[in-house]
Amino acid sequence: MLRKITDKISMVISETGFTYCNCIYINDDIRAIIDTGANPRSLAEINPEQVDMVLNTHHHYDHTRGNALFCNARFYIHPFDAPALASPEAFIHYNSIDMWMDIMPGDEFVQAGNMLGLSAESMDHLGDIDGTLKDGEIIDFGSTKALVMHTPGHSAGHCVFFFPEEELLFAGDVCLTKAGPWYGEIYANPDQMIDSIDRIIELNPPRLTSCHVNKIYNDTAPRLTEYKNRIFRRDERIYEFLKNKPATIHDMAEHHLIYIQHPTPFVVFWEKLMLIKHLERLQKVGRVYEAEPGLYYSV
């Protein structure tokens, strides 16, 4: 489904779940789309074969899964994320799937992946990148311009796009859902995410939307501040939990310190990966200690 934002900019609304995403379509002298993760029926409304340029905010599957539909487009992504789209082996590494057996003992990856639509046959989104995105560059589509901002944290190469004339920021997966922020892969970094959110707050865009919400927000600074503060609240939940007794990431995940619900094994996997990031943060400042390998406590 297309939802007009301006004469030249529309949101491609995905009609499916969280393994898909909304995209931004620019219908100007250069026809472009930012991310391709909407469901195929929604993408068909913009005639993908007629699109000139694909800009991926980052490498994750729910944002790149439709890349193969854009058979005549040139593809751009930040250089830090470009390697993730080069091969199945790189995809596995950048998404931390090579850590699955250690983190998810007893859970079969193939079955969990099938629940998200991940399989060997679904890797057709991988392929050559024609160019890379640079922080601060202006992309000229014709009468529409977009500023690229490198905002790492969710991934190493995550970028957002600001349309200055339209006073609109497309924030990618700096995504104002109830479940975020997410930093559950090897090159994700909650410290960088905090800095990236602060940078967007400093920009203070009058309007903001992101990949997994269907709204355009006008109160961007308070929303982003609350979103950022969730990272600190997670720190405190983990710290307080470890004051009771030493625990492993498996013990902690059972108590839902990141996510209220675990609807799929992948959500448990991501919770454990994010717990590792928080434990690293807390160890750096001397609030959490490792009693023995894999067993943590706080005082």
Q: Give the DSSP per-residue string, 26-64.
A: EESSSEEEE---S-HHHHHTT-GGG--EEE-SS--HHHH
Please check whether residue 231 lies inside any domain of the structure: no
Please check whether residue 216 lies inside any domain of the structure: yes
Q: Are residues 40 and 180 in the same domain?
A: yes
Q: Look at residue 122 in the predicted model and tell me its pLDDT.
A: 65
**Residue 184 · residue 269 · CB < 8 Å:** yes
Q: Domain range spanning residue 148? A: 2-226
Q: Look at residue 244 in the predicted model and tell me its pLDDT.
A: 87
Owner of token pair 């997670």: 234
Q: Are residues 143 and 241 in the same domain?
A: no
Q: Are residues 135 and 189 in the same domain?
A: yes
Q: Are residues 48 and 126 in the same domain?
A: yes
> Nearest 5°: CA angle at 132, between 172 and 198?
40
Q: State if pTM tops 0.75.
A: yes
Owner of token pair 């922020």: 181
Q: Among 226, 256, 285, where does a domain finish?
A: 226
Q: Are residues 54 and 180 in the same domain?
A: yes
Q: Are residues 119 and 247 in the same domain?
A: no
Residues of the chain with pLDDT under 70: 114-122
Please count the CA atoms within 13 angstroms of the CA of 114 that sit on its side-chain side.
4
Q: Are residues 222 and 293 in the same domain?
A: no
Q: Are residues 243 and 133 in the same domain?
A: no
Q: Look at residue 232 in the predicted model and tell me its pLDDT.
A: 98
Q: Are residues 211 and 242 in the same domain?
A: no
Q: Are residues 174 and 258 in the same domain?
A: no
φ/ψ (deg, to 5) at 46:
-105, 10
Give how many domains the chain has, as a whole number.
2
Q: Are residues 134 and 240 in the same domain?
A: no
**Residue 38 · residue 23 · CB < 8 Å:** yes
Q: Among 201, 226, 251, where does a domain finish?
A: 226
Q: Look at residue 115 in the predicted model and tell me its pLDDT.
A: 66
Q: Are residues 66 and 190 in the same domain?
A: yes
CATH number (domain holding residue 19): 3.60.15.10
Q: Look at residue 221 in the predicted model and tell me its pLDDT.
A: 96
Q: Among 169, 191, 226, where does a domain finish?
A: 226
Q: What is the CA radius of gyration of the chain?
A: 19
CATH number (domain holding residue 285): 1.10.10
